[in-house]
Structure 1
């Protein structure tokens, strides 16, 4: 243990913001209180510590000098002993005692002392960049509000330290926690009242500390006691959060695989390992592999580089699908390489140890994760245990990649084998004709030209299903509860007819899981439940079925209940999918019919794509119809149409709520962009995309505004029963305000128009929004 004083952030000068004194009197009062109620042997320990403190007069004063506590290291060690788990090893604890306002640390574990001696304060990662003065002021008011006003969640500022591990060079993350239970706060006079409405307003404005300084001056407060500081390693949680953010971003391209691989390295704690991610993509029920975009597999790269026969590769993978399991090769020897063509190409690629882990999503094999290294014995079963918390997230990532691949396949099929929209087909016809003419009687074929349209006015709309991720997780939890209840019923029937001690053990475990599932919050727990079912329950049921044929029906009824298409254990997930399909089907049908009428006024390009809901792009401009003069009135007409159509869509989806097996709500979002942009048809992806750096900014904003928050709040802009319109320029807001006024007069919108400032997004500042409520017809309220 260490009694050297550590001055936190000693490079900064912090003025005294409140009267505070280091004292052990709050601890003494606490020990005396515990002795009145404690009946166990702990009371003897408490009494021993209390007597020791009271014998040392210097420890009972109200303002101890931290530098003088070196002489009382044995007493401090006793305090450490009662405040930490008895079996804890001090070498593993980042733990310390500090002054009431954390400024000077006067006693700490060696681990904690070394950590702070080695770390630069700049390695702190804070949500807000604040001076130390304001950080301490925030700390002081947080405690005051908790103690005197019962505010338990206001002004909490999490501090995270990040540093690079000297051996692995991987970044590790630590969260600092300050325990103030041994700090007494006194106030002279009558405690001021707080106007909570005003306090809330100042939180929104970001000047809450200034408000509190005026309302609750600190000159009448005093702090006495000491704080307990501890650090916890949150490296794994931070890495898992990084993977979750990838899922939220809905970006499943090449750079995403690198991000996930780095997070997995951090979780594994080994920089010498690498990862391959291979979701199982299928075309017509047969596996295909796309290592350019939807996969990142070392095995695929090695088989192509060293020309392994494709039929051998596919045969082995198909066989693996029939019997998925974890495979570990800790050392790829020459003998192993001669016997196995896969190990041969891996060895040729410089790989010395290799593992394959099956990845499941909703109990279905979604792909495999490779773990490999150029070092021997770097991959083992212990590494699999470390990676286990990430496996459900990898399963979700694989499923999203599979869905994205299917979406891309659908889009290409529509573009290649169905007619292009009439508004753009004429230009493709011209390009094809020039392609034919330019390549006549020429030995070298020229590439077909890029089809482009200049000065297009874009319109973007998004209809999203509210809290779709939350709904999916809730449906999963409810289905797991049904599955466990059915399993308990099955096991009880088996127990009544077959005497096996193991039945009681599995029944006990099932009841335990049923309790845990009610408060299921961790994807790791979900994965452990699946592992329990697959490794303990199902083999037991199959054994009962084989050994006791008379129990076959009981076992079969359970397995029928977990069939995805008809089983009881997928009931809620099926209802959710039906509800989502109902919404998307109605929206798609409405948009298909509505755009046909829209094209009659002036030709436009209408591109629709699938998310959890429906998003669409509309482009309109002169180059779409060279023979018809374009006027900005057509743009205003289509903008009014878009706003009106959003009202109709909101009414349609609201009207479906009572028909859905699982009620869902939608949000409606429009992005207003006044400046014309250029678009071109990307032949490689068979879709239109924007051109130029400025125009790309439009795409960036589109992809990020669906989760934007109202400035200085935690409230999402997009809300059910509302239409949100995001814009940059005041002229845009004025134009849409006129449309809203017109639709309010038509009884389509409520009289609740809001003009809102929005939080900055990465790379995007200055966003604003209009939001207005939809007026529903009778029966949709």
Structure 2
């Protein structure tokens, strides 16, 4: 076997001891007789075997001349140091080792028979280019610094990976150009400097085997497991994405296994919530907390004894538990953190506070299932890594705060991503102005967008006020009935005239609920239950021995916060909340595809249903790319999505606690307008008196009547499109016909005139019935509203 087999390199390798022998030639002239005699003996061996000086590539000669090579290398591999030094003699950029110290041999033996020694961080192309840079240095004097730290990764007897850094001694090497080696010019060198990644250029300048390497290298190897573990911890913590992966905790466990030299070590984290004085589980990184025993959160004083609480939270110092079972017996199971460890089968542990100048942020928990493996001595290893963990937690905390701010902005304000550039621009100007001018207070620039087209739509729960009132009536009537029954079972000898008066009041309230229910009625009844009935029933429970079971049943049905029965109203409120949640989620999901079609401003509001505003135009996109085709596309998209929202509502009506109806409406505004962000209200609104007409129509149009009738324009089972211009009618009738072809709208299209609103005249409406698709995998099943109601009730 040739040493050059299966290796692509500009160097043709020959193992040679010529440079080493030249050193011995110098030593043979030494005045020290012992040194001279030894040098002459080495030279005599080399003279008998000229291949040792001339060089060879046949690997089998390493075995044949093993004894002679060991004599040649005796001074470089001292027998006195062989059990301590980790050292090898090898061929450069190659895994072939032909001589090594006893300690290195033992390390490889411990790794196991199937272990294959390899330099871990040397890509094949990099090896070729590194060889080229060595040639540039040796043969042309260009000192290109391409030195990188190289490592072996070798498991120890416990299977724990240990890291060994390799330092090369190249004193015994020589490189000689062959006849087919192109001469490297200054122009070639300049070209190579800018083409590290272009392996073909390097191969052109340094063809394979165009230079002869004669010699060998000595590798001095050092165990740098601790340093590498610390470096790995830094790397894992620096990369933001890594910290959010579920594999983060597993990576950390492997790193700390290497750092402590313990195979079964595990790593946990818990976050300290200062406001609630609790420890909380860290989500999203695959990490458990051994301190809180995998609960989501726990009060600190329930997790720690008084000493450990003081140690971690007040002093911010780490502590270890070297023998959990022993301490469990001594503390008689009364130390919470020892109990938690004992219950999880943990035998030794270290708890280290993650703290900065502001105080505790969290706890690093390192545990082992073997007694005494973790202790106060090896806990000191954490001193080198805790600063990086603290820094990472600080960064993570800041990022979480920023994320929370972003969520608040998304959920609670109207700063949509499509217009955020304008806010950033204004904020940057504000910041520069405040830095330039130390006296006057700078003002925040006006945020406005001109010539944008508005789109408005809403899906509203029909008869929501009536449904809410009915639910309230049912709750109050039920509570009156329960009170009346309790008053009925008061014993004869306990009856008082006041109880008769209460029963009279109850009857009067029942009549009021049925005949003339008002908001005042609800307030009056709530006061009646709280101030007159509740104190009386509490008195009965404490002082009397009758109706206890009935009174306890009454209190079990009364909401403790509202002091009234909240059953039917809860069903109503839960239904409205669920409708809003489901329809908002569908609209938000569909908005993603709409933004991809063309960016535009979007906002939605939850009322008794869901409303949304959209504005589209050149001033929002900040690019010269707007065309009215994008407006028409967004209008059609809006119509289709509102159909999908209503269809989804009715197909999933069985999810809702009570049955309600919805009505859909779109408002079309023909002219572009200006919108401005109102700082006081923290939302966008139309800008200017003329544009205010649009806002008036938006707020009132869903309550508008068809001209000459008492019929509302918005009706369940129908889509209402409100407009004022003939061209809008023509446009939307095209969309309606298109959706009729898709079996989304029925054929009963109505063109309706609306009664005038305050300050607004000439409004018209297109109204058309929807055809609902049943979600059963069969696209051919269609329902009108009446068909769907029969199907649902069947």
What is the TM-score with the length of structure 1 in the denominator?
0.48
Which structure has more relative contact order (CA 8 Å, sep 6+)? It is 1
Larger radius of gyration: 2
What is the TM-score with the length of structure 2 in the denominator?
0.48
